[in-house]
Amino acid sequence: DIVMTQSPESLAVSQGERATFNCKSSQTVLNSANNKNYLAWYQQKPGQPPKLLIYWASTRESGVPDRFSGSGSGTDFTLTISSLQAEDVAVYYCHQHYITPHTFGQGTKLEIK
Amino acid sequence: EVQLLESGGGLVQPGGSLRLSCAASGFTFSTYAMFWVRQAPEKGLEWVATIDNGSGAKTLYADSVKGRFTISRDNSRNTLYLQMSSLRAEDTAIYYCAKSIGGISSYYEYWGQGTLVPVSS
């Protein structure tokens, strides 16, 4: 199984500042046949289901604010919030859907400092 | 507008069975692979099962549920199912259905609100 490891476990950032989330996979999730990284990021607010933010590692889902961006390839990935807003408080999960079983990172909890 | 509405959750005793449903609307249900994902209380996300598009001939399961859970779909009813049997305390979770972008190697584009399954005597 591909193990997804997120860091840090929790993050406290001041409003307006940058927040950076890291995700490392135990094997590559880059499909060389189509040059796509099978890596997505989700945001989960308390009491709500996860919401897709980023897919193919760096493509922002429609309607997601442009302060959210994703980067990385192969085994190392980053989600960045460029200027933290209060409504961004949530848990953020990375997810590999390249190989079954699909696996998620353990999540990073984001709080306002 | 894509909507996924899970139902069928509720308290069940260890060893019992339950069938979850996920009613889909706002898209051509039959052309998309679908997933079940669960989240134990205060825990992270765990993939449970996948069914491919079309007839749903291809199904995949997490080792933790293989042989106990069955995923299926009724395209005429636009509904996804998860038949759960031999339930254990560790199956206690919110169960979400999720929609693919097409095939089984897909990210999870939309999620339902989830249905809670507590397994307890």
Tell me the pLDDT tens digit for each residue of B59-96.
999 999 999 999 999 999 999 999 999 999 999 999 99
Percentage of chain A modeled with pLDDT above 70: 100
Are B96 and A49 within 8 A, CB to CB? yes
Mean pLDDT in residue range A3-11: 97
Of the candidates A48, A98, A102, the beta carbon closest to that of B47 is on A102
Place of tokens 């305390």: B89
- Residue A110: name the closest of A12, A17, A8, A6 by CA: A12
Q: What is the pLDDT of residue B111?
A: 98
Sign of the Cα pseudo-torsion (A111, B115, B12, B46, in order): negative
Query: How many A×B Cβ pairs under 8 Å?
Result: 54
- Residues in B closer than 8 angstroms to A106, CB to CB, are 44
Count how many Cα atoms sit within 13 Å of the Cα of residue A76 in the half-sphere of its side chain: 1
Q: Does B46 touch chain A (CB under 8 A)?
A: yes
- Residue A76: name the closest of A30, A32, A10, A109 by CA: A30
- pLDDT tens profile B14-59: 999 999 999 999 999 999 999 999 999 999 999 999 999 999 999 9
Q: What is the pLDDT of residue B4?
A: 98
Q: Does B104 touch chain A (CB under 8 A)?
A: yes
d(CA A17, CA B71): 44
Mean pLDDT in residue range A37-50: 98
* Distance of alpha carbon A40 from the chain centroid: 6
Q: What is the pLDDT of residue B29?
A: 97
d(CA A82, CA A104): 23
CA angle B93/B89/B69 to nearest 5° reads 70
Q: Does B107 touch chain A (CB under 8 A)?
A: yes
Of the candidates B44, B47, B109, the beta carbon closest to that of A101 is on B47
Q: Does A109 touch chain B (CB under 8 A)?
A: no
